[in-house]
Amino acid sequence: MSLRPEISGFKLDILLSLFGSRNREAAANAAKVVEETVAFDDPREFARVRQVLEQAITSGRPFADLTAEDGSHVYAALGLAAVEQNRTETESNVWKMGAFEDLVNQIGTTIEPKALTLLRYFLDGRPLFGKTIQADWSYYAWLSLDELKTLIAALRAVAQTDSDPTGDGFLEELTGWLDQVAAADSDLWFFAS
């Protein structure tokens, strides 16, 4: 089974406001999202996600003692990113994550460094709780609207010299999803699952 990208628009400020808020209702709503979305093999995994959510709303971020996030942090982020949000959905999950790898391999030396960093978040993730994400399966990332606009401009510049660098139309599709999120005046949420 291959990872698939889930790109949507959301409001980053709403997500960030939950950290340290002591909003138990938000933590419960986030836990509900996770419970409805993720099939855990072991109930202890879900209990660990609930612990992460509790720490997030109680202590804020980043977690002082955390270097690498694991799956419980990834699922907690998934839940928190859904609380009080009105998402702008895209059809990105029809592609597999290999398309991002191919794109980075093709344009990584030609795209401006800041934009490459933003594009690489789709491959490496961008943590909220720790310094890195080292989960066994799923991971996530986010871009502010300004970062999203920077990435769109850089991808458009690439398309002017090579409209289809990977030969599969992915650059055009990706730019379309990013445009859709930016047109909604949203920040970007990304989840690979």
For 37-88, the pLDDT digits (tens) are 999 999 999 999 999 999 999 999 999 989 999 999 999 999 999 999 999 9
Residue 1 pLDDT > 60, yes or no? no
User: What are the tokens at 140?
Assistant: 């996530």
DSSP letter for each residue of 53-100:
HHHHHHH-SS-TT-SEE-HHHHHHHHHHTTTT---EE-SGGGS-THHH
| Number of domains composing the chain | 1
Rounded Cα distance, 57 and 83, in Å: 12
For 106-145, the pLDDT digits (tens) are 999 999 999 999 999 999 999 999 999 999 889 999 999 9
pLDDT for res 137: 87
User: What are the tokens at 86?
Assistant: 């009105």
Half-sphere exposure in the Cβ direction for 80 (13 Å, CA): 35
Q: Is the peptide bond before 43 cis (omega within 30 degrees of 0)?
A: no
Q: Rounded to two decimals, what is the model's pTM?
A: 0.94
Kindly state whether residue 74 falls inside one of the protein's structural domains. yes
Kindly state whether residue 193 falls inside one of the protein's structural domains. no
Instruction: Report phi then psi at 116, rounded to 5.
Output: -65, -40
Residue 21's domain spans which residues? 5-186
Kindly state whether residue 191 falls inside one of the protein's structural domains. no
pLDDT for res 136: 85
Kindly state whether residue 192 falls inside one of the protein's structural domains. no
Kindly state whether residue 144 falls inside one of the protein's structural domains. yes
